[in-house]
Amino acid sequence: MFVLGLSMMLAVAGRVVMGVDPCAQYANGCSVPLHMPLFYKTLFTPSCNRHDVCYRCGAKYGISKDTCDSAFLHHMEAACAVHDASRRHISLQSSSSSSASHLQKRSACTVFAKDVFYEAVHIFGGLFYHDVDGTASFCSEPTAVSCLHD
């Protein structure tokens, strides 16, 4: 049952299967000013890649900046759920961690997703959202289009 649930959450969290992120070829990951280290950056990279594609191609398909940002938050929250589920499964095998600790970790992940990553792009990302005339040449490629959908 755990494996089935985890598999379903992985499908929601982004199309990253076996370490391959099809959206990465069109994106630059989670860009952070001055390349500062940031918690959950690696976990959120597939979400950042999809968000980059949405900002560069979304207008071509009638997807607004706000819709891109909302999808970004949704994908990060799904990644946090997968992260939390895998940590919870590991702790069930080891009695050293408590349930409360895992709830706090998931809460920290989702809080970081919303209060740091989402708020940053929602407030400051407007300069990077391309209008219809400014969409990238790759936006018609099937792989890029697949990055725009769940």
- Using pLDDT thresholds of 50, 70 and 90, give the confidence band for residue 85: confident
**Would you mind telling me the total number of residues written for the chain in this entry?**
150
Residues 91, 75: Cα–Cα separation, whole Å: 24
Give the mean pLDDT of the chain.
Answer: 80
Amino acid sitting at position 59: A
pLDDT given at position 9: 40
72-96: average pLDDT: 76
Residues 6, 115: Cα–Cα separation, whole Å: 25
Domain ranges of the chain: 38-88+106-147
Q: Is the pTM of this model over 0.85?
A: no
58-76: average pLDDT: 97
Residues 127, 138: Cα–Cα separation, whole Å: 20
Helices and strands in the chain, H and E counts: 6, 0
- Using pLDDT thresholds of 50, 70 and 90, give the confidence band for residue 2: very low
- Cβ neighbours of 40 (radius 10 Å): 20
Residues annotated catalytic, as ranges: 51
